[in-house]
Chains A and B, each alone.
Chain A
Amino acid sequence: MLLFLILGVLSGPEVTKYVLDNGLRVVFVEDHSAPVFAGVVQFDVGSYLEHPGITGVSHLLEHMLFKGSKKLGTIDYGREKKIIQRIWDIYEKLPYADSLERSKLREELKKLKEEEKKLVVSEEIWKIYYRVGGANMNASTGNTSTQYFLLLPSNKKEVWAKTESDRFQNLVLREFYSERDVVNEERRMGDGNPSSVLWDNLIATAYIAAPVRWPVIGWESDIMNITPQEVMDYYKKNYVPERCVIVLAGDVYPEKDIKLVKKYFGRWKKRKPPLIRITQEPEQRGTRRAHVEFRATPRMGIAFHGPYYGTKDYFALELLSMILTDGNSSIMRQELVDKGIATSVNSYVMDFDKKVVSLMTIFVNPAPGKNFKEVEDSVFSILESIKKEGISQRSLKRAKNNYKKDILSWQKNVLWMAIGAASNERVMGDPEYSFKVLKTIEEIKIEDVMNVLKKYISLDRATIVTLGGEK
C-alpha cells in the first residue's frame, strides 16, 4: 500500500490520500465539527463509455446497484438465481413468440415473479442505511462519472464499508425489468420539460462525434431494449477498483479508518481496466443550427467548443462566462435583460473532465416580441463589442471574488467536500485540486480572458439551437 500525505493547501481542510494494492484510491477529508461523515464512491464511468444501442446503460446500472448483491436484498440467492435466469430467458423469447406461446410465457412470468417476491427483500440497502441514520443517500450518473453517496453518523463507518464494498463487487440484477420501466419514466419526465429537451438537442448538435452527444439517461429505444446481460457485461468491464475513488469526509481519522476501508475494499479483485479510446470532436467548420418544435415559450441555447479542462485557458473561459452572465451587474444581463431583449440569460462551461473538449453554453430566453434572430444578433453583437473594447479590471476581479467564495462555500457541507475531492482525485489525481486552482485563477489576466474570447467564441464556431415559439 502506498501512502501519500498531502498537507492542506491554501485554506482547505486536512486531506490524506492512500492507494490500495488493487489500485483503489482512498481519500480522507477531515472536518471534526460534527460527528458525521460523508461516504462517496465515484467511478470514472459515465455515458462517454456507451455507444448507440446501449445509451443509458451507465445510468441504468446505477439504478441496479441499489438492488443488492448475492448477500443483500435476498434471503436465498441460490434459489433466486434460477428464477432470475428464467425470467431473463422469457423476456428474451417474448418478442419472437406467437400469441399462444406468448400467453403461456406471460403466465409463467407471473408465477416466477410471485416466487421471486418470496425471496427478495426490496430496497433493503435503503432500509439498512435508514436504520443507522443515513441521510442524503443517493447516486448520480453523468457524462463522465457515476457516484454513490450518503451521510452517516461517524460511528457507522463499518456499515458503510461493508455494504458499499459488497454491492460494487457482487451485484445481482434483480427486479431488472421493473427498474428499466422506472428509468423510462424518469426519461419521460425530461421529455415533457422544454429546458431538458433543448439541452438534449443542443449537445447532440454541438458534438457530432464525441461520446457525450447522447443524453445520459439514454434514448428510449435503447433503454427499453437493453438486456440484463448487457448491463452485467458493462458492469464487469468498467466497475474496477482502478477506475474508482472513494472519499470519506467529515469526522474521519485517516490512520485508523484506512484499516477499516482496507479490510472491506482491499478484497476487491484487481482487474486491468479496459483500454478506452474516446472519439475526439473534430474541428467545427461553420455555424450549426437546429430548431425544435415544442409547444413552449421560446428558448435559445448557444454553445461553443472550448479548451480542455485543467488548462489555464479553461479557467480563463470560466471567468469569461462569469463576467458575461453572473449577477445583475454582468454585461449580458445588462445588455439583454435590462434592455428588454431577453427575459433571462445564463452561461456556464461544461468541462467533461478533460475527456473531450469543454463546451461553453449560453441560454437565452427571448423577450416577448423579440424573435430568435434579433436575440442571436444581440448576443453576438455584445461578444464582438467586448472583443473590441475589452473587459475591465473590476469585472475580472468580481469574477475572481465570486470564484473564491464558491470554493469557500463548498466547505460548508461535508458531502459537497467529499464529492468535490472525489472528482478532483479522479480527474486530476489530486483531491485538493480545487484549492490549487485558486492560484491559477489569481494569475489570470485580462489578456488571458480576451484570448479565449477571441479564440473560442465566434459565430462560425457556434452551435445555435432554438425551441418553441417561431422558427
Chain B
Amino acid sequence: MRKILLIGLLSLSILAGEMKSPMAKEVERMKFPPLKWDVPEVGKDIKMLKENGSVIFLKENHNLPLVEITIYVRGGRLYTDPTDRAVCELLAPMLERGGTKDLSPEKFSDILDFNAISFSVDQGVDHYTIRLSCMKEVLDTAFYLLKQALFYPSFNERIMKVEIQNIKDTWRKNLETPSRALWILSDYVAYDGHPAGSLPDFTVFESRVKEKLQRIHRMFFVPEHMVIGVVGDVTEEEIRSAFKDFKPDYKSEGFKDDVKPFSEEPQKKVFFYNLQIPQGYILLQERVRVEPSDLYRVMLMNEILGGGGFTSRIVLKVRNEMGLAYSTYTYFSLFSNPLPPHFYAFSATRSDAVQDAIDAILNEIKRIRDEKVPVEEIKVAKDSYLNSTITRYSNDWRFIPRIVNLYFRDMPLDYYSKLAENINNVGIEDVLEAARKYINPDKLYILIVGDTTKIDLDKLRKFGEVEFVNLEVKGL
C-alpha cells in the first residue's frame, strides 16, 4: 500500500506532564503547510531489472552528470574455512588494483585515475561491497573496468606482495586503535570458533597465494551472487545494455550458502583486551533473536533507550547528566541476516569511571524493562521516525544502497515505504514487552578495551569473571 505522508499535519500536540520551555510551546503552536512526498518504491520509482542472474535496482537521476553503482556480492569469511579469512581479505584490494586479464595493474589504475573514476572493493563478514562512481561521459570506460576487475582479475604477484604487507599493517593499526580493537573483540567473543569471529592467519600467505585467491574469487564473483544498485544520469536502456554481458566465462564452484551453526552465546563475563589508552572502551553485548513481528517494537524501544541520539535515555544519563562520555549509544544489528542479530550498548569513558558508566547503562536497561515509557517520550521517538522519512530517504544517492542492502538481507522491499505506518502502530506496552523480551541483563556480557593499570579490575568483577583476551593474529 502506498503511503502518503502528510508531514506537516502530523500532530505535535501538547502533552500533559511533559516539561517544555516557552520556545517548545511556541513551536508546537506553529502550523505547517502539508508536504506531499512518497518514499520511493521499487517497481514504481525504482526499476528492478534482472540480468545474467543478478538483480539490479535502478533510479534514474538526471540532475547531475554522474553515475554511482553499488554492488553487494555474497561471499566472505562466513562461507569459507576460518583459515581462508586472510585470503578473503586480500581478495578485496587485489580486485581493486591487482590488474586484469587485459590490463596491467599500472594501466588499470591509470585509466581509472585519469578518468576520475572512483572504484573500491570492501570486504565484510558475509559480502563484498563494490562502489563505483564516475562522470556520465566516461561510463562506458567505467563499465569496462568494472567487468575486467570483478570477473577477470590477474592477481599480479608484485602487487600481491604489497597488499599483503598493507593488510598486515592495517591489522597492526586495528589492534592499537581502541574503537577498532573493540569491534574485533566483539566479533571474536560473539562468534567464538566460528568463521564469522575468526582472526586472520597470515601464515597462509607463505605459499600458493594466487591459487587460493583464484579459488575464493571464482567461488563468490558471479552475477548470481550480486545485488546491484545504480543511481544517476543513465537510462534503463543504457543499463540493460551495459549489464547484458556483465558475466564471466566461468561458473561458481564450491559455494555453499548454508552457514555453519553458531556456537552457544558466551558466558556472562567481562572480556578484557589490554591497551594503554586513557579511557576504557565499553561494549555490553548479547545475541538476540528478533521475530519479524517484533521488529518495529524493538526499533522504537531502542530509539528511546540509547539509539535515538541526544534525547535517548542512556545519552541523557551517561553523557549529559554524568559527563562521563562523549560517545555513548545502543544499537540492535537487526539487518544482519544471516548473522544472528545482537544488542550492543557502547560507551567510552575515563579509566576510573568505567564501572560507573556500566552501572548507569545497566540501570537504564533495568528501567526500560521495569517501567512503562511515558506517553510523551514515545511520542518524541515516533515523531522523530515519522517526520524524518523525508530527510532520511529523499536523497537517491543514499537511498539506492539502502535498497540493495534490503534485498541482500531478505528484507521486504517496501520496508521503507511502510516504516512510518509500522512505527506508528507501536504502543507503550509494545515497548515494554520488547525491552523485556530482547534485552536480558542476565545474559549481557561486557567487553572492555583499556589499560589494566588504570582500570580497577576488582570493581569490574561484580559484573562477572574478568577474562583477558589475547587477539593473536598469526603471521603478523
- Which residues in A have some Cβ–Cβ distance to B below 8 Å? 31, 33-36, 66, 68-69, 71-75, 121-124, 126-128, 130-136, 151-156, 158-159, 162-163, 166, 175, 177-183, 185-186, 188-189, 191-194, 295-297, 326-330, 334, 337-338, 340, 343-344, 365, 367-368, 394, 397-398, 401-402, 404-405, 408-409, 411-413
**Contacts A132-B12, A155-B35: A408 and B66 contacting too (C-beta < 8 A)?**
yes
CB neighbours of A326 from chain B (8 A): 113
Contact A368 B279 (CB under 8 A): no
Contact A329 B114 (CB under 8 A): yes
**Contacts A185-B348, A297-B176, A328-B109: A162 and B23 contacting too (C-beta < 8 A)?**
yes
Question: Which of B24-32, B220-228, B243-251, B289-297 forms part of the interface with chain A?
Answer: B24-32
Contact B309 A135 (CB under 8 A): no
Contact A409 B311 (CB under 8 A): no
B133 within 8 A of A: yes
- Which chain B residues in 146-181 approach chain A with CB under 8 Å? 158-159, 161-162, 165-166, 168-169, 172-173, 176-178
Contact A405 B348 (CB under 8 A): no
CB neighbours of A398 from chain B (8 A): 113-114, 116
- Which chain B residues in 267-284 approach chain A with CB under 8 Å? 275-279
- In the assembled complex, the Cα of A405 lies from the Cα of B265 at a distance in Å of 48
CB neighbours of B311 from chain A (8 A): 123, 126-127, 130
Contact B388 A135 (CB under 8 A): yes
Q: Which of A177, A402, A408 contacts B65 (CB 8 A)?
A: A408
Question: Which of B314-322, B335-343, B463-471 forms part of the interface with chain A?
Answer: B314-322
- In the assembled complex, the Cα of A316 lies from the Cα of B423 at a distance in Å of 53
- In the assembled complex, the Cα of A448 lies from the Cα of B299 at a distance in Å of 56
- In the assembled complex, 26 residue pairs joining A and B whose CB atoms fall closer than 8 Å, in A order, are A35-B37, A36-B391, A68-B23, A71-B21, A74-B21, A123-B311, A126-B311, A130-B309, A130-B380, A130-B388, A131-B12, A155-B35, A159-B30, A162-B23, A162-B26, A182-B323, A182-B326, A185-B324, A329-B106, A329-B109, A343-B166, A344-B166, A398-B114, A405-B66, A408-B64, A413-B397
Task: Give the 9 A-B CB pairs with smallest separation, nearest first.
Answer: A181-B323, A133-B387, A192-B277, A327-B113, A178-B323, A34-B394, A135-B391, A186-B326, A328-B109
Contact B66 A402 (CB under 8 A): no
Q: Which of B32, B161, B388 contacts A155 (CB 8 A)?
A: B32
- In the assembled complex, the Cα of A152 lies from the Cα of B27 at a distance in Å of 14
- In the assembled complex, the Cα of A136 lies from the Cα of B391 at a distance in Å of 9
B248-271 interface bits toward A, Cβ cutoff 8 Å, 1 = contact, 0 = none: 000000000000000000000000
CB neighbours of A192 from chain B (8 A): 178, 275, 277-279
CB neighbours of B323 from chain A (8 A): 177-182, 185
- In the assembled complex, the Cα of A186 lies from the Cα of B350 at a distance in Å of 10
Contact A131 B380 (CB under 8 A): yes
CB neighbours of B109 from chain A (8 A): 327-329
Which of A127, A163, A296, A344 has the most B CB atoms < 10 Å from its CB?
A127
- In the assembled complex, the Cα of A156 lies from the Cα of B315 at a distance in Å of 26
11 new A-B contacts, CB < 8 A, other than A133-B391, A153-B390, are A126-B309, A127-B380, A134-B391, A135-B391, A162-B23, A181-B323, A188-B350, A189-B326, A297-B176, A408-B66, A411-B64
B474 within 8 A of A: no
**Contacts A186-B326, A188-B279: A133 and B388 contacting too (C-beta < 8 A)?**
yes
- Which chain B residues in 343-390 approach chain A with CB under 8 Å? 348-350, 380, 383-384, 386-390
- Which residues in B have some Cβ–Cβ distance to A below 8 Å? 7-8, 12, 19-24, 26-27, 30, 32-35, 37, 61, 63-66, 97, 105-106, 109-110, 112-116, 133-135, 158-159, 161-162, 165-166, 168-169, 172-173, 176-178, 275-279, 308-311, 315-316, 319-327, 348-350, 380, 383-384, 386-392, 394-395, 397-398
CB neighbours of B395 from chain A (8 A): 34, 412-413
Interface SS of B by simple majority: helix
Contact B178 A193 (CB under 8 A): yes
CB neighbours of B113 from chain A (8 A): 326-330, 398, 402
Instruction: Give the shortest distance, in Å, between A398 (CB) and chain B (any CB).
Output: 5
Instruction: Give the shortest distance, in Å, between A340 (CB) and chain B (any CB).
Output: 7
Contact A188 B278 (CB under 8 A): yes
CB neighbours of A337 from chain B (8 A): 162, 166
Contact A409 B114 (CB under 8 A): no
CB neighbours of B134 from chain A (8 A): 405
Closest chain A residue, CB of each to CB of B177: A193
Instruction: Give the shortest distance, in Å, between B447 (CB) and chain A (any CB).
Output: 16
Contact B165 A297 (CB under 8 A): no
Instruction: Give the shortest distance, in Å, between B178 (CB) and chain A (any CB).
Output: 5
- In the assembled complex, the Cα of A295 lies from the Cα of B22 at a distance in Å of 52
- In the assembled complex, the Cα of A189 lies from the Cα of B34 at a distance in Å of 44
Contact B176 A152 (CB under 8 A): no
CB neighbours of A159 from chain B (8 A): 27, 30
Which of A130, A180, A326, A337 has the most B CB atoms < 10 Å from its CB?
A130
- In the assembled complex, the Cα of A326 lies from the Cα of B350 at a distance in Å of 38
CB neighbours of B166 from chain A (8 A): 337, 343-344
**Contacts A75-B19, A159-B30, A365-B169: A405 and B116 contacting too (C-beta < 8 A)?**
yes
Instruction: Give the shortest distance, in Å, between A353 (CB) and chain B (any CB).
Output: 26
CB neighbours of A36 from chain B (8 A): 390-391, 394
Which of A74, A154, A166, A194 has the most B CB atoms < 10 Å from its CB?
A154
- In the assembled complex, the Cα of A434 lies from the Cα of B135 at a distance in Å of 18
Contact B23 A71 (CB under 8 A): yes
Instruction: Give the shortest distance, in Å, between A367 (CB) and chain B (any CB).
Output: 6
Instruction: Give the shortest distance, in Å, between B263 (CB) and chain A (any CB).
Output: 32
Instruction: Give the shortest distance, in Å, between B441 (CB) and chain A (any CB).
Output: 25
Instruction: Give the shortest distance, in Å, between A36 (CB) and chain B (any CB).
Output: 5
Contact B24 A121 (CB under 8 A): yes
- In the assembled complex, the Cα of A127 lies from the Cα of B277 at a distance in Å of 34
Contact B115 A401 (CB under 8 A): yes
- In the assembled complex, the Cα of A158 lies from the Cα of B26 at a distance in Å of 11
Contact A123 B320 (CB under 8 A): yes
Closest chain B residue, CB of each to CB of A129: B384
- In the assembled complex, the Cα of A419 lies from the Cα of B349 at a distance in Å of 31
Contact A178 B321 (CB under 8 A): yes
Q: Which of B63, B169, B319, B322 contacts A343 (CB 8 A)?
A: B169
CB neighbours of B327 from chain A (8 A): 189
